[in-house]
Structure 1
Amino acid sequence: MSRIGKRPVALPSGVEAKVSGQTVEVKGPKGTRSFTATDDVTLSVEDGAVSVVPRGTSKRARQQWGMSRTMVANLVHGVSEGFKKELEINGVGYRAQMQGDVLKLNLGYSHEVNFTVPEGVTITAPKVTQIVVEGSDQQLVGQVAANIREWRAPEPYKGKGIKYKDEYIFRKEGKKK
């Protein structure tokens, strides 16, 4: 039995949900998002909360029950508060700055890296060594942050590169004579 699926997803003030068939559409201050569930679960809105109930006792129905509830909870969190990933840049001369809708990165290459911000995500650079990626879609925010980090992943000797704010870099000892 899914322990996650049992709890209904509460809708905070300013957020409204509408279910039509297998699709739930959530509107909030940060936008509108929708999710289409499989036929193994039933979605309903009651008493200011979205509940997910499995249609059978098969293994697939129980799997989809918890997953669908989590997807609906992520939609509600995304349109009410939004998702955020913070990146830090370590290294001499490594810096980032926003110029319009392009993130310009100096990462030790012979050229400047220009990263175009995709639609649905906002990127800010409050400091030259910090990047903040925000949006209402958790998957898109994480993918954009991973694409930026991919340009110069942190190396284990000096820790130079782009890392997540809460990431720990396992350091290695250099060569001995």
Structure 2
Amino acid sequence: MSRIGKLPIQVPAGVDVTIDGRTVSVKGPKGTLTHTVAAPIEVTKGEDGVLNVVRPNDERQNKALHGLSRTLVANMITGVTQGYIKALEISGVGYRVQAKGSNLEFALGYSHPILIEAPEGITFKVETPTKFSVEGIDKQKVGETAAKIRKLRKPDPYKAKGVKYAGEVIRRKVGKAGK
């Protein structure tokens, strides 16, 4: 039995879960998310609002999908209740970010500013010109958007300049020894 997959999912008050065949819809105070569970896996609604993820047999593929499906449904519930935030930082001389409506404009040492448009369901919050965050209810979209932004100027291992996640430790390299 999958250790993650066998755990029941608690549904908090104010969250409505609808199961229609393989499609699971979660509606909460922050919005609605829908996910289609992989073929052999089933999601069942138990008493007092507890969800269980069940697999038909112990085949290797089903074991893998069991834990994955349970985690995806649990992440949907967390997303519609609390939401997800990915904080990023910019370091480097002249590197900065500013909000342009719902979009972000970056100055990252290129000859032109870079404009990033907010995908549907994602909001950007700029705290300072070097600190900002990506927020939303879909964990995958938040992480993907943050990764795309980080990819614009990855942290340099020699000077640690670039866009990095808050709290990320950049492994530094020693420069060449001069005479």
Q: Please give the range of the TM-score, normalised by the shorter of the 2 chains.
A: over 0.9
For residues 172 and 18 of structure 1, do their structure 2 counterparts lie closer, same or farther at Cα, with a shift above 3 Å needed? same
> Which amino acid counterpart does residue 100 of structure 2 have in structure 1?
Q
Distance 2:86 2:116 in 1: 16
Q: Is the 8 A contact 1:40 1:60 kept in 2?
A: no
* Seq. identity, %: 47
1:27 CA drift (Å): 0.4
Question: Which residues of structure 2 form unaligned runs of 5+?
Answer: none
How far off is 1:166 after superposition? 2.0
Distance 1:162 1:39 in 2: 39
TM-score, scaled relative to structure 1: 0.95
Question: Quick one: distance in 2 between partners of 1:109 and 1:58?
Answer: 51
Which whole-Å deviations, capped at 9, do the CAs of 1:95-137 have from their partners, x for residues lacking one? 1110102201111112111111111100111111011001111
Which AA in structure 2 matches 1:16? D
Q: Write the distance in 2 (CA, Å) between the matches of 1:128 and 1:34.
A: 35
1:40 match: 40
Deviations 1:43-77 (CA, angstroms, capped at 9, x unpaired): 11122111111112322222221111111111111
**8 Å Cα contact 2:88-2:133 kept in structure 1:** yes
Per the alignment, residue 139 of structure 2 pairs with: 138
Q: Which moved more, 1:59-68 or 1:142-151?
A: 59-68
User: Structure 2 length normalisation: TM-score?
Assistant: 0.94
Number of aligned residues:
177
Q: Tell me, which stretches of 5 or more residues in structure 1 are unaligned?
A: none
Please state if 1:113 is matched with 2:108.
no
Q: Write out per-residue CA displacement over residues 23-44 of structure 1, whole angstroms, 9 at most, x where no aligned residue.
A: 1110001111111112312211
- RMSD of equivalent CA atoms: 1.1
The answer on 1:122 being equivalent to 2:88 is: no
1:147 paired residue number: 148
Runs of 4+ in 1 over 3 A off after TM superposition: none
Cα distance in 2 between the residues matched to 1:58 and 1:29: 38
